[in-house]
Chains A and B, each alone.
Chain A
Amino acid sequence: MARITAGVATSHVPAIGAAMDLGKTQEEYWKPVFKGYEWTRNWILEPENRPDVVILVFNDHATAFDMNLIPTFAIGCADEFKPADEGWGPRKVPIVKNDADFAWHIAQSCILDEFDMTIVNKMDVDHGLTVPLSLMFNQPQAWPCKVIPLAVNVVTYPPPTGNRCYNLGKAIRRAVESYPEDLNVQVWGTGGMSHQLQGPRAGLINAEWDQRFLDDLSADAERLKNIPHIEYLRETGSEGIEMVMWLVMRGALGDNAAELHRHYHVPASNSAVGHIVLKCNS
């Protein structure tokens, strides 16, 4: 049977992708950002850790979806997804290959479990999805695993609640455990941590709040799932709301999770960079 073995979360700041693509990772500004991913880059390629499939929870930033169509939860079910042209031409990173049979299985299972997923086939994927892959796998010719994209609306209000995201994670776990193939599956949550990209309050960072969030991913997930939107907005900036996507990952790990690795750095561009690796403890 397929099984979820670990969860990974990371910021997906577009400038991080640009720094890698333009060969700037050794510059003083960027060095400490990338340093914190070295542990994970080694860990993830160990045979017992290496995922066959990553369910990658991200948000589209007005790329594949515009104001015409705003799905709250959308799961990519096509065989592959191309890196999007976000205004500077597409990133020169590998095409994302899906395990489409498994993706369709998860879509069906979640819908029957009362999570009304939108199924997407044609979807170019933006920095929200490709930057986390670059951070974990560096710059390979092809991504070393299959990727199921799961897009969450965190742009147009209201986004789903943290509790809803957490429970979607649980539904994803049930879906994975009912799939007969022997697969090592990881769930990744991306976005965050504190940042605000708009208005006179732009540049807001709340390291103390972010660190408590990282603590409680293993210590007290029940607290995290009940954080209301207004708290993310007030405490972590208008774009800090992306952290609800980390709760899909956390929900998918089951009741108990143990922290294996953590990284936190300010800044990358306008954002606090947060990264954590969690192992299922059940």
Chain B
Amino acid sequence: MTTNIQAYLLELEDIPGTRVYTTKRARAGYWLNQFAMSLMKEENRKRWLADEKTYLEDWPMTDAQKQALLARDYNRLLDLGGNIYYLAKVFSTDGLSFLQAVSTMTGMSVEDYQNMMIAGGRSPDGVRSKKEGN
């Protein structure tokens, strides 16, 4: 089975409110994500929390990536090549759960987001495709 890769990649960009972690994003976010991996060590977590700006000096990221990290702007970080499982090291170091951190990307309060999940989650209706509007 062969796949038309251009068509495949175009479809991945057609989903509302979603950044699929494509090779293009992975390449742009390489150092951002490798920085995040460094926070899996306790000594690095301590150093990061003590002085975030100085810690970032060791990592060849873009200024935009560094600003988004300092602001904990997770949607922006996804745009700049971050992947959620890597960014999880950042919010875990902040003491946030997946649910708490994920809710910040939705424009909802943690409480409203949690209640939405308990009520069955977000329906796929209306958010399947930008093109189809369904």
Chief secondary structure at chain B's binding surface:
helix
Chief secondary structure at chain A's binding surface:
loop
Residues 78-108 of chain A, each 1 if its beta carbon lies under 8 Å from chain B, else 0: 0000000111100000000000000000000
Residues 53-84 of chain B, each 1 if its beta carbon lies under 8 Å from chain A, else 0: 00000000000000000000011001000011
Please indicate which of the listed interface residues A63, A202, A209 has the most CB atoms of chain B within 10 Å of its own CB.
Answer: A202
Stretch at the interface among A115-123, A153-161, A174-182, A243-251: A153-161
Known: A61-B88, A87-B89, A266-B120. A66 touches B37 (CB 8 A): yes
Within 8 A of A (CB), among B77-134: 78, 83-86, 88-89, 92-93, 97-99, 102-103, 105-107, 113, 116-118, 120-124, 127-129
A172 is an interface residue with CB less than 8 A from chain B:
no
Which B residues lie at the A interface, using CB under 8 A?
A: 1, 8, 11-12, 15-23, 26, 30, 33-34, 36-37, 39-40, 42, 45, 74-75, 78, 83-86, 88-89, 92-93, 97-99, 102-103, 105-107, 113, 116-118, 120-124, 127-129
Which A residues lie at the B interface, using CB under 8 A?
A: 14-15, 29, 61-63, 66-68, 85-88, 155-158, 161, 163, 194, 196-207, 209, 229-230, 233-238, 266-267, 269-270, 272
Beyond A267-B120, A269-B117, 15 extra complex contacts between A and B, CB < 8 Å:
A14-B98, A15-B97, A62-B36, A156-B23, A157-B12, A199-B17, A202-B105, A203-B116, A205-B120, A205-B121, A230-B11, A233-B18, A238-B20, A267-B121, A270-B99
